[in-house]
Amino acid sequence: MIPGKFIPPRRSLAQIFGNNVYKISLYNHSDMSYVLTMKLTRLLLAVCLAAALGHAAADDSLTTPAPAGDTVTNRYLAKVRELVLNAMGLLGIDYKYGGASPETGFDCSGLVNYVFNQAAGLVLPRNAQEISRVGETITRDQLQPGDLVFFNTLRRPFSHVGIYLGERRFIHAPSRGGQVEIVDMTDRYWQRRYNGARRISL
């Protein structure tokens, strides 16, 4: 362990947000209208956030003076919640090559850049390969919500990036004709193309 280096606690997405969080992804692939889909998405996000905050308020360890390390941990988890909720609030937005906002649509790096800027005030490079050089390299078994995962989808390494959510799932802007969605990293397509992961300091 490097002195002074913060290592985030191992938490599942369910522990951070509650077990209802993946219901959001079901609406992303349903036959409902886009407007209804986004209304339900926002509603579920609000429920998940309220549940997370309610759990924190009910936790005695958060209502008593905490050691410095615990304060850092809680601050980190709060930033992760903000980052993941920002990302999931963009479910259903159309893919757009070069897109970097909800109004224009997103490509993969545009989505990542937008979310990290909105949630943490960070400005990341504008393509996946350059983003792959930022932060700390981590192994697959070290993945935590908020980490970045990289794939070879264009016959070159680190040509695609998404935001890891936990439970082997990540959110990304896929390709032309697609929309921001949640997918499973254990699907054969993604397993074969996985290039690695990075952790950005929040």
Active site residues: 108, 160, 172
Enumerate the β-bridge partners of residue 184. Answer: 169
Q: How far is CA 104 from CA 73, 85, 111, 125, in A?
A: 35, 20, 11, 19
Query: Between helices 68-88 and 108-120, what is the axis angle to 10°?
Result: 140
Enumerate the β-bridge partners of residue 181. Answer: 172
Q: Residue 145 corresponds to which tokens in the numbers above?
A: 């919500």
